[in-house]
Amino acid sequence: MSLSNIANDPNKRMILFGGKGGVGKTSISSATAIYLAEQGDKVLIISTDPAHSLSDAFSQDLSGGEVIQIEGVDGDLCGLEISPEKGTEEVKHMLEEEGVSDELNQSLSMLGLDDLTSDLHQNTPPGMDEAVALSQVMQIARQGDYDRIILDTAPTGHTIRLLSLPEFLDSFLGRLLKMRVKLSNTLAFFKSMVGMEAEKDRSVEIMEKLKENILQIREDLQNHTETEFVVVSIPTLMSVYESERLLVALTEQNILVRNVVINQIMPRNESCPFCSARYHSQQEVLEYARQVFSDYVQTELPYLAEEVKGVEKLRKLASMIFSDA
């Protein structure tokens, strides 16, 4: 089987690839992007993995924060690496510019809550960096300039954190907003006592907007017509177990998954003791994986002797991914 069901469905505008680190997500997503572009689609591939390797895959610098045309492809393919950390810093900077951080810290300090002040200043909710990066992706998607957007996501743990972020924000921001309103009133009272003019409080508005943005991301991810997640694994028990957890999380969040790719399968080679041992070990795991993923279309890819780097090698990988042989 292959990923042809995605290629043959033009409505699938957003295709996300995820899995454990080191399973080949970047190579597979990059090869998919080349294949779709050379089939006539206008394609943008984006990496939100903090440890970017998209530039390495295409042998072209895509790290500048701007959409770049990828060279050597017989079609319209662009690439972009988004820095989650940079996005989070921009959110913090925005809050500081609006005075939200200062006002909140001042209010908390006046009530003797300096420890909480420090914690809120130094830490962001888990998954926020991924959410900010994905928010930028969704903004690009809504502009409608591309037929397909391929997303090379961060490793599984980051993805699961992101999926649970809306519920976390409902709780975290809900409590914080209530506290902020109370503290704002308290601070305004103290300012009036000493004749200071109370400034307009925009923190509630900004935080609510942030929460609405995260909820919109989840709604976009749950759009089964336009969005699909592809899980990438390799034939090791650790990777298969992690893929199982990811599939459970995606199902719980109502995100469409039809395909599982099992990558790096060793060929049989009895003349090499190491290769033979690795082959037989993988076969045991493969038997288990095929049962675990029986509800999904499974694409099995061989272990390649050479590093998949550059458009030509990615194109060869694409021929394997989209072959029904």
* CATH code of the domain containing 282: 3.40.50.300
- Bridge partners for 43 per DSSP: 77, 148
Do the beta carbons of residue 15 and residue 33 sit within 8 Å? no
pLDDT of 7 reads 93
- Tokens representing 229 are 């997640």
pLDDT of 200 reads 53
196 shares its domain with 311:
no
149 shares its domain with 20:
yes
92 shares its domain with 76:
no
* Residue 219 resides in a domain: no
The structural domain count of the chain equals 2
265 shares its domain with 296:
yes
pLDDT of 53 reads 86
* Residue 218 resides in a domain: no
Tell which of 210, 239, 266 closes a domain.
210
64 shares its domain with 120:
no
pLDDT of 108 reads 46
Q: Is the pTM of this model over 0.85?
A: no
Q: Which amino acid is at 63?
A: S
Buried b (16+ CB within 10 A) or exposed e, 8-27: eeeebbbbbbbbbeebbbbb
* Residue 204 resides in a domain: yes
pLDDT of 207 reads 64
Q: Which residues are catalytic?
A: 49
11 shares its domain with 53:
yes
* Residue 217 resides in a domain: no
Break the chain down into helix, strand, coil percent, rounded to 5: 55, 15, 30
28 shares its domain with 149:
yes
Q: Which domain holds residue 187?
A: 87-126+167-210
142 shares its domain with 270:
yes
**DSSP annotation of 60:** S
Query: Could you tell me the mean pLDDT of each successive run of 10 residues in the chain, 325 residues long?
Result: 89 93 94 97 89 89 89 96 64 51 49 44 57 76 91 77 66 64 59 53 64 80 94 96 93 93 94 91 96 96 93 96 80
pLDDT of 147 reads 96
252 shares its domain with 183:
no
pLDDT of 111 reads 44
**DSSP annotation of 69:** E
* Residue 215 resides in a domain: no
139 shares its domain with 62:
yes
Tell which of 210, 241, 272 closes a domain.
210
pLDDT of 86 reads 59
201 shares its domain with 245:
no
pLDDT of 202 reads 61
Do the beta carbons of residue 220 and residue 8 sit within 8 Å? no
294 shares its domain with 204:
no
* Residue 186 resides in a domain: yes
* CA–CA dist 245, 255 (Å, integer): 14
